[in-house]
Amino acid sequence: MASLIHCPHCGVRPSQEFSIRGDASVVRPAPDAADEAWHEYVHLRSNPRGRHREHWHHVAGCRRWLVVERDTFTHDVFSVTDGAAVAREGGR
């Protein structure tokens, strides 16, 4: 059976309806940041094993961006938050 994600807008949905963008803790550099900062932001990413937060897009549903906290090894989902709410709080 497919993994299930609890979308705050659409309810419980299969994970196949979503697209993963990546690590939600990465902070975009300022537009005038040094080339090295942009290089690290674009090209150098860790691939952690365990629990962390990711950006997910509900492409086959409400089309909202979500922040999903999950374990990359077990795929257990611990929390799902609307991405706009996270941005308003200024949190990552």
Judge whether residue 1 has pLDDT over 50: no
CB-based burial label for 24 (10 Å; 0-12, 13-18, 19+)? buried
Q: What is the pLDDT of residues 4-14, one digit of tens each?
A: 999 999 999 99
Question: 62 near 11, Cβ under 8 Å?
Answer: no
In sequence order, the 6+-apart residues with CB closer than 8 A to the CB of 9 are 58, 61, 62, 64, 82
Residue 89 has pLDDT above 50, yes or no: yes
At 2 the pLDDT is 61
| Fold classification of 4-89 (topology level) | Folate-binding fold (3.30.2270)
CB 92 within 8 A of CB 86: yes
Domain residue limits, the chain? 4-89
pLDDT score for 43: 92
The pLDDT tens digits for 13-72 are 999 999 999 888 888 999 999 999 999 999 998 888 999 999 999 999 999 999 999 998
